[in-house]
Amino acid sequence: MNYDELISEAEQIGLIVKEKPLQSADGRILNNKIVIRDSLDELRKKCVLAEEIGHYLKNAGDILDQRNTSNSRQEDRARTWAYDMLIGLDGLVSAFEYGCQTKFDVAEYLDVTTAFLDDALKKYKERYGIVVKYKEYFIYFYPCLAVLKK
């Protein structure tokens, strides 16, 4: 899914997406309006938009103060939703089946930034541990990403 397709999905659930110059963040959401920093490249915009949609679907209220543990948990929930939306275990398996060999190949195949992929892999390692059995695959998150078919 590319950035324009993700905008269409956001609009289908009632969100309004605009691009504007932002000073302190790459994306913001207020009620049903999402603003994405206009100077970002399209790949980064897509990753930011996915997270902002996650905030809309998974969060409540103003969570800007990340010193508050409830707010930081909500931030984590939105990011995790974005990782699952754009990557997920199915995406990792699909990248393996496609022939991706490096995390750079995987990021390009999944159309996400390498930083977004790295963050997702850290989250998946927290969630699943070093390895997870998924369908007929074993997905390793440590010491590096590896997918093996049973």
Domain with CATH 1.10.10.2910 in the chain: 1-86
Pick the CATH number of 1-86 from 2.40.40.20, 3.30.470.20, 1.10.443.10, 1.10.10.2910: 1.10.10.2910
Record the pTM: 0.91
pLDDT value of residue 70: 66
Count CB atoms within 10 A of the CB of residue 88: 15
Q: How far apart are the first and last CA of the chain?
A: 29
Task: Note whether 121 and 138 are within 8 A (CB).
Answer: no
Closest to 63 measured CA to CA, from 52, 126, 122, 45: 52
Is 109 in a helix, a strand, or coil? Answer: helix
Per-residue pLDDT 10s for the chain (150 aa) are: 899 999 999 999 999 999 999 988 999 998 999 999 999 999 999 999 999 999 999 875 565 555 656 666 878 899 999 999 999 999 999 999 999 999 999 999 999 999 999 999 999 999 999 999 999 999 999 999 999 998
Task: Name the packing angle between helices 103-110 and 114-128 (round to 10°).
Answer: 100
Output the six-digit token pair for 115: 């930083």
Output the six-digit token pair for 6: 């993700």
pLDDT value of residue 60: 58
The torsion region of residue 34 among left (phi > 0), alpha (psi -120 to 50) and beta comes to beta
Alpha helices by DSSP H, listed for the chain, are: 3-12, 42-58, 69-86, 88-98, 103-110, 114-128
- Between CA 66 and CA 75 the distance in angstroms is 8
Task: Note whether 86 and 116 are within 8 A (CB).
Answer: yes
